[in-house]
């Protein structure tokens, strides 16, 4: 499950009500710790990305603004609006993903050229322990959603 950050909500309001320029793409960045819902991150520099390589690229997995990458929008219990991200498959090649440690969460970010300056729109945790993808295996990230 995921939750929009206050920064994410502010950006959405700016994009919709002020007509400010939206990102061309979004990114799902994998992180080494369980997201902090009490003090949500503002920028990517506020979290630690997993080690890159072996099939995972610095900055995360690029998503388009469309109904393929954001494949479901739903209202849950008449209250929460959830936007689901398509299933993401990561294939570890040449070593594990991550090369050390585990994946404990993910963040949805904007697309600034300088990765550390990207804004965190939402954060999601795995909810059941860390993920480690061995060399040659495929890790599937599914059920990632943005709610608010």
148 within some domain = no
48 within some domain = yes
Q: Is the pLDDT of residue 54 over 70?
A: yes
Q: How many domains does the chain have?
A: 1
Name the helix (H) or strand (E) containing 108: strand 105-109
Contacts of 117 (CB under 8 A, 6+ apart): 43, 44, 45
Q: Is the pLDDT of residue 36 over 90?
A: no
Cα→Cα distances 103→66, 77, 79, 96, Å: 26, 30, 30, 11
* % of the chain residues with pLDDT over 90: 69
**pLDDT score of 69:** 93
Instruction: Categorize the per-residue pLDDT at 55 as very low, low, confident or very high, splitting at 50, 70 and 90.
Output: very high
Helices (H) and strands (E) in the chain, counts: 1, 10
**pLDDT score of 47:** 95
Name the helix (H) or strand (E) containing 117: none
Instruction: Categorize the per-residue pLDDT at 1 as very low, low, confident or very high, splitting at 50, 70 and 90.
Output: low
Question: What's the rounded Cα separation, in Å, for the pair 60 and 31?
Answer: 10
Name the helix (H) or strand (E) containing 112: none
145 within some domain = no
List residues bridging with 3 in a β-sheet: 123
Instruction: Categorize the per-residue pLDDT at 145 as very low, low, confident or very high, splitting at 50, 70 and 90.
Output: confident
Give the mean pLDDT of 3-20.
94
Question: Which range marks the domain in which residue 136 is found?
Answer: 2-140
Give the mean pLDDT of 81-105.
92
């Amino acid at each position: 499950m995921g939750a929009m950050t206050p920064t994410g909500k502010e950006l959405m309001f700016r994009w919709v009500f002020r007509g400010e320029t939206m990102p061309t793409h979004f990114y799902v960045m994998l992180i080494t710790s369980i997201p902090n819902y009490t003090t949500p991150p503002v920028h990517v520099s506020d979290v630690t990305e997993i080690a890159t390589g072996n099939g995972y690229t610095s900055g995360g997995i690029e998503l388009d603004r469309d109904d393929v990458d954001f494949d479901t929008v739903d209202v849950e219990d008449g209250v929460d609006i959830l936007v689901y991200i398509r299933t993401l498959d990561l294939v570890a090649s040449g070593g594990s993903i991550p090369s050390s440690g585990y994946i404990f969460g993910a963040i949805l970010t904007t697309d600034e050229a300088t990765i550390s300056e990207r804004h965190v729109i939402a954060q999601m945790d795995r909810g059941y322990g860390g993920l480690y993808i061995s060399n040659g295996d495929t890790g599937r990230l599914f059920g990632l959603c943005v709610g608010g």
